[in-house]
Amino acid sequence: MSEPANLFAQQESNRRRSHWLVIGFIAFFAWLGFGGDWLAIEVTRGAAPGHYQHIVPWFGLLMGCIGGAIAWYAWRTGPDKVLWSTGAREITEPATPAERQLVDVVQEMAVAAAVPTPRVFIVDDPDPNAFATGRDPASASIAVTSALLNLCSRDELQAVIAHEMGHVKNLDVRLMTLLAALIGAIALMSDGLRRILFQSGGRISFSRSRDSKDSLGPVFAIVLVFWLLSWLLAPLVTRLLALGVSRDREYLADAMSAQFTRNPLALASALQKIEANEAPSSVIHGGAAHLCIADPLGRAVSEREGHIADLLGTHPPMPVRIARLKAMGYQEQKAAGTFVPA
């Protein structure tokens, strides 16, 4: 398949996945609501006269509306929230030669990628890394860590920025930013429920007659356990969604970097330096890790191949990415007649 075909296929895949992510998110909230309604109906079915009896599924309607509102809010403010969570500061007027070089490189790669020039940010972090965020190319931002600026040469920095431009152009930023924002919303919601349950000691009850309590049965118990687990484990579920996003997006962005710069060896060199650096990230956490050019959490699964690693890893193994880029460089040098055997 040609590079343009790959690009268009990735763009369409990201549009489709973004839509299904929002639908699944709202459906999950609806389950939390209507599941709670069903449990409340069963518990209060035989309530004594004058006691509360749950009839109208207001909880499900409310949670469905809340899920839709959160999804809309995440869509509108997700990019800003991601940047805020990492402490990124925007470069409007470069104050140092390194900042000027970064701005120049972003402008150059925007021209090469034929996209509007993104806003430029720096994250003060000892971990050399970079990420892009936004809803589309017109609203995109690119952030690099201070460690990356200090580590990379101009050609290497250009290659890293070109990689992030690839994510912007193929609409990876739309899907990945939306996912990061929804992960944060779910984590806050689950943490709030966990606090409520711990503070109440689990003593949440409804008035119900003895006969109706005895008739709840195993189905009620199963649904109740599953419903509570859905609330408590919601952050894990959304993080698994982030892990399950195809690693192929990184391979495609690497290839697009090589296309924009005509220098795949520069990105290979930058990735080698990033891989060799062992300083952990101090500001980029799990909710935004999948946005970065390299896994800032250093998870072992990101360095493995196979079906399980493809399912759980946010990034392909760095040695594989570097080997592919070096192979591209070899092919270009061979075609130009400039390759010199080691």
Q: How many CA atoms lie within 13 A of 53 on its CB side?
A: 9
Q: Is 298 left (phi over 0), alpha (psi -120 to 50) or beta?
A: left
Supply the pLDDT for residue 197.
58
Supply the pLDDT for residue 130.
95
Q: Where are the domains of the chain?
A: 3-76+178-243, 86-173+246-336
In angstroms, the CA 290 to CA 242 distance is: 7
One digit per residue, the tens of pLDDT, for the chain of length 342 reads 445 556 667 677 777 877 887 888 888 888 888 988 888 888 887 767 777 778 888 888 998 898 888 888 888 888 898 899 899 999 999 999 999 999 999 999 999 999 999 999 999 999 999 999 998 899 999 999 999 999 999 999 999 999 999 999 988 888 888 877 777 777 666 666 666 656 655 554 544 544 444 556 788 888 888 888 887 777 676 666 665 565 678 888 999 999 999 999 999 999 999 999 877 788 887 677 888 998 887 665 556 665 555 555 667 888 889 999 999 887 766 666 665 554
Supply the pLDDT for residue 120.
97
- Give me the torsion for CA of 281, 282, 287, 293, rounded to 10°: -30
By the 8 A CB rule, do 125 and 281 touch? yes
Angle at 87 between CA 86 and CA 89, to 5 degrees: 125
In angstroms, the CA 139 to CA 133 distance is: 8
In angstroms, the CA 56 to CA 229 distance is: 24
Helix, strand or coil for residue 57? coil
Nearest to 167 by CA among 77, 227, 245, 262: 245
Q: Which fold would CATH assign to domain 86-173+246-336? A: Zincin-like (3.30.2010)
By the 8 A CB rule, do 204 and 148 touch? no
| 164 included as an active-site residue | yes
Query: Which of these is catalytic: 12, 42, 93, 164?
Result: 164
Q: How many residues does the chain have?
A: 342
